[in-house]
Structure 1
Amino acid sequence: GELSDATGAGARLTVVDVREPSETASGVIEGALLYPWSSGVLRAEHGALPGGPLYVICASGGRSPGAAAFLVENGHVCVHNVVGGMNGWRGAGYPTVTP
């Protein structure tokens, strides 16, 4: 997918994982920034995110579209929703690390 292609190319990008801590405990994409959406952390702290492409991911793709739209509405210009979420990432055999 687009994210795996970008990470493999060594591009400067930021993965924003919007799952809750109970979910991220099972594994995250290496280097991902953890900004839970449902509990409001992303809304409160999005200003601390770096510039450059942001790839927003959740478990299955239910929360990340709303989180990505929020980021665009609040001035982040290069935001991508990761379709399929972490379930799709793992299902494709891509690696995860324990946060």
Structure 2
Amino acid sequence: MAREVDLETFAVAWSAGAVVIDVREPEEYRAGHVPGARLAPLSAPAAALPHVPRGRQVYVICASGNRSQRAADRLAVAGLDALSVAGGTRGWVDSGRPVMAGSAPGSV
């Protein structure tokens, strides 16, 4: 089972340039996402594997933390150091942190 980090820990990692994978669906991502997060919907996680950097922690985020936990488990099985972000994008937004709308920076 994947490890989980709280929003404060994630915020510190994010500000230091962490790799962030958003596993929500494209319409959710376009509505608002953590700046710099790359889209890799849970519906097609295997497509993301070749583009996820090896040897670095990867932070996986969704709306609330449920889908990211499943995706982080899958990435961990594939040999990645994946951490699920507890509270997800909803918690990120509710804590007043920055959010981007639209499709940039694109899919993984």
Question: Normalising by the residue count of structure 2, what TM-score does the alignment of the two structures yield?
Answer: 0.80
2:34 to 24, 29, 38: 29
Q: Which amino acid is 2:26 matched to?
A: P
2:84 to 73, 81, 87: 81
Residue of structure 2 in register with 1:57 after alignment: 61
Q: Which runs of 5+ in 1 are unaligned?
A: none
Q: Distance in 2 between matches of 1:45 and 1:29?
A: 18
Q: Distance in 2 between matches of 1:87 and 1:23?
A: 11
Same amino acid, percent of matched pairs: 38
Structure 2 residue 77 is the aligned partner of structure 1 residue 70? no
Counterpart contact for 2:24–2:63, Cα < 8 Å: yes
Number of aligned positions between the proteins: 94
Q: Please provide the CA RMSD for this pair.
A: 1.2
Q: How far apart are 1:47 and its partner, in Å?
A: 2.1
Higher relative contact order (CA 8 A, sep 6+): 2
Question: Normalising by the residue count of structure 1, what TM-score does the alignment of the two structures yield?
Answer: 0.87
Q: How far apart are 1:48 and its partner, in Å?
A: 1.6
Query: Match of 1:25, SS?
Result: helix
> Which is richer in strand?
2
* Runs of 4 or more above 6 Å deviation: none
Structure 2 residue 27 is the aligned partner of structure 1 residue 19? no
